[in-house]
Copies of this chain bind each other. A is one copy, B any other.
Amino acid sequence: MRISIVNPNSTRSMTDTVAKAARQAAARGTEILAYQNDAGPLSIEGYVDGAHAVPGLLHALAVAESDGAEAHIIACFDDTGLDAARSMLTGPVIGIGEAGARMASLVARRFSVVTTLSVSVPILEDNLARAGLAGNCASVRASEIPVLALDTDPEAADAKIGAEIERAITQDRAEAIVLGCAGMADMAADLSARFGVPVIDGVASAVKLMEGALTMGLKTSKRGGYAAPRVKQDARLAVPA
């Protein structure tokens, strides 16, 4: 089976990180098609970045579908553009934020998310609430590491993220940790060993959930909010078929 993973920002190193993490998590027989939104911002930090990323992201997803991808992963923890993607595409779609949190809820009653900047905290809180996971979320904590610094200053990132994990466990009663940024995908195993609780990467979570959905033959329901867009008499803005 073919699963696409789309980085909604335009930073090559992050695209490489998520593609590598996805391929490591994939089952034998799963082909990961990785895409980057070259029209997107360098990173997605807050609502404005997210808004600017969506059209290019949807375009990349449409390309992925025409390339034969049967399921799709949006590789930003904000789950940027997820509803529009589910409406536009035929195959199932997941964001790494929803994926990580859903996987965490299988192995812990309460989890904390440790993300990059505090500007993302309300976005993640809203997403968790909408997904019904707010009750299981002990806290969303910002490490105040900018997204791109995950790559350029990994030691500082590791220290700050570790400190927030420590606080989540001791102060917020977190029983598991979800890493709240696509750029953290390769840190899960080490942190889990260090802190003795499940530390969960959203990219791997998304791959396993999409593999599961495809094996079961599931596609996004086209009744209700995810109905395919109506075709309008406006040639300029044709929805990708």
Please, could you name 7 A-B residue pairs with CB atoms under 8 Å apart, sorted by A?
A10-B234, A48-B87, A55-B55, A92-B106, A110-B122, A197-B221, A211-B212
Q: Which size bracket describes the interface of A in this complex?
A: 35 or more
Question: Do the beta carbons of A87 and B221 come within 8 Å of each other?
Answer: no
Known: A106-B213, A216-B25. A198 touches B176 (CB 8 A): no
Q: A49-B229, A83-B123, A198-B221 are in contact. List 14 more A-B contacts (CB 8 A).
A: A47-B86, A48-B229, A48-B239, A52-B58, A107-B221, A108-B223, A132-B132, A175-B224, A175-B226, A198-B219, A204-B216, A205-B216, A208-B211, A208-B215
Q: Is A84 an interface residue (CB 8 A)?
A: yes
**Residue of A132, A173, A234 with most chain B CB atoms under a 10 A cut-off:** A132
Minimum CB–CB distance from A60 to chain B (whole Å) comes to 13
How many copies of the chain does the oligomer comprise? 6
Nearest opposing residue in chain B for A24, CB measure: B215
Question: Do the beta carbons of B119 and A42 come within 8 Å of each other?
Answer: no
Q: Is A45 an interface residue (CB 8 A)?
A: yes
Q: Is A220 an interface residue (CB 8 A)?
A: yes
Question: Do the beta carbons of B106 and A218 come within 8 Å of each other?
Answer: yes
